[in-house]
Amino acid sequence: MAGTVVVGAGLAAAHVVATLREAGYADPVTLVGEEVDRPYERPPLSKAYLQGSAPRDDVFVHPDGWYADHGVETRFGTAATAVDRAARAVALADGLTLGYDHLVIATGSSARTLDVPGAGLDGVHTLRRLGDSDVLRDELAVRSRLVVAGGGWIGLEVAAAARLAGLDVTVLEYAAQPLLRVLGPELGAFFADLHRAHGVDVRTGAGIEAFEGSAGRVTGVRVGGEVVPADVVLVGVGAAPNIGLAAASGLAADPVAGITVDEHLRTADPAVLAAGDVAHAYNTALGHGLRVEHWDNAIRQGALAARSILAQDAVHDWQPYFYTDQYDLGMEYVGHADADDSVVLRGDLRAREVIAFWLRDGRVRAAMNVNVWDVNEQLRALVGRQIEPARLAAQDVPLDAL
């Protein structure tokens, strides 16, 4: 009996195998991962773990020994190199071939880099894996000037961690505001102002021309004809889905959008599923497919992939969710909006205690609570509804009365 093979030992993969075993799945389960570490959670890598406030053991999904105790065979430190869908077999880099009844591709994504001179200098980093966070944490402990290339979530979280550690920090964002494509101009400016208030030099419209260096080590970032001094650089310009294994096997996959799957996370081959950052999954609540690179989605899709293998009646029907912690600001976001959607605010943006709603044609597409707690489930219930903007903004109207 071949059982289930899960390729890509990240958060989604961990929840595939855990859900299978919790449901009583008795067939063999094999977890294959290119990294030597067992599955871990990525949010701490740019937050608590990077800051040194969380121990290494806290990042792992399951304690050491869990996989063996639950009858999950692990092949860590070994990449999957090919899928033979006709034979239902996965080839590994060490020469082993694994047969499968079900294959879950949960290969995640890889950090994008900048194709500019000096990109290979020592001190120029990306942040995607646990080892990346280890290296960056060591750097922040001994360096004094950080430049962050890119004003996305990872970049801003690292900028906050570096400022709290006492470094001089510059953020170089190509767009007109940080987080512009996610939050739009007003809320993007809000996060820029948050960082400026904590002493970060946030520069927008900044196209990086090169990394400057001396003796093989980065010393600055050239932008607009000026060289911004840096002794450590984080490149945070997004991530690309790791579609190679799926694409080489003939499955529909796009280098930006990811691996195409249905609402059950199945590819066109019913024996092959995809979950997590790599999956472009049809969402029945939104009525279209999308790829989501967040913690909550990896957990939910890992569990959904397992339920699909178990032939349970479950679909990809939830609103996307993510969160961030930067300085004394905590935020949760639920839904899926576009930057040109209209924004309605409830509360005081200047006091950094506010709820934001994104609307199109009067319908709530997403909501975000900033330093306002225990309301996210109420906000989730509002997404998709037609609600008057004035009522959304009125603080004397309870959320559960909207």
pLDDT in tens, 315-341: 999 999 999 999 999 999 999 999 899
The C-alpha atoms of residue 318 and residue 107 are separated, in whole angstroms, by: 22
Domains 4-110+239-309 and 113-235 share a fold: yes
DSSP letter at 305?
Answer: H
Q: List the domain boundaries for the chain.
A: 4-110+239-309, 113-235, 328-401
Q: What is the pLDDT of residue 115?
A: 97
Strand partners, 33: 76
pTM (two decimals): 0.95
- The CATH architecture that domain 328-401 belongs to is 2-Layer Sandwich (3.30)
SS3 state of residue 232? strand
Q: What is the pLDDT of residue 14?
A: 98
The residue among 395, 276, 383, 272 whose CA lies nearest residue 337 is 383
In the predicted model, what is the mean pLDDT of the chain? 97
**How many angstroms separate the first and last alpha carbons of the chain?**
53
DSSP strand E in 182-250: where? 201-204, 208-214, 217-223, 226-229, 232-235, 239-241
Strand partners, 281: 261, 290
Q: What is the pLDDT of residue 1?
A: 72
Q: Which residues of 70-90 are buried (b: 16+ CB within 10 A; e: fewer)?
A: eebebbeebbbeebebeebbb
Tell me the pLDDT band of 105, cut-offs 50, 70 and 90: very high
Q: What is the pLDDT of residue 146?
A: 98
Tell me the pLDDT band of 85, cut-offs 50, 70 and 90: very high
- What is the tens place of the pLDDT at every residue in 390-402? 999 999 999 999 9
- CB-based burial label for 402 (10 Å; 0-12, 13-18, 19+): middle
Classify domain 113-235 at the CATH class level: alpha beta
| Residue 393, CA distances (Å) to 303, 375, 378, 389 in order | 36, 15, 15, 6
Tell me the pLDDT band of 167, cut-offs 50, 70 and 90: very high
Q: What is the pLDDT of residue 301?
A: 98
Residue 139, pLDDT > 90, answer yes
Give Cα 187 to chain centroid, integer Å: 20
Q: What is the pLDDT of residue 69?
A: 98
Within 8 A by CB and 6+ apart from 235, the residues are: 111, 112, 113, 114, 119, 124, 125, 126, 149, 150
Residue 185, pLDDT > 90, answer yes
- What is the tens place of the pLDDT at every residue in 234-247? 999 999 999 999 99
The residue among 338, 355, 349 whose CA lies nearest residue 392 is 355
Fold for the domain defined by 4-110+239-309:
FAD/NAD(P)-binding domain (3.50.50)
- What is the tens place of the pLDDT at every residue in 13-60? 999 999 999 999 999 999 999 999 999 999 999 999 999 999 999 999
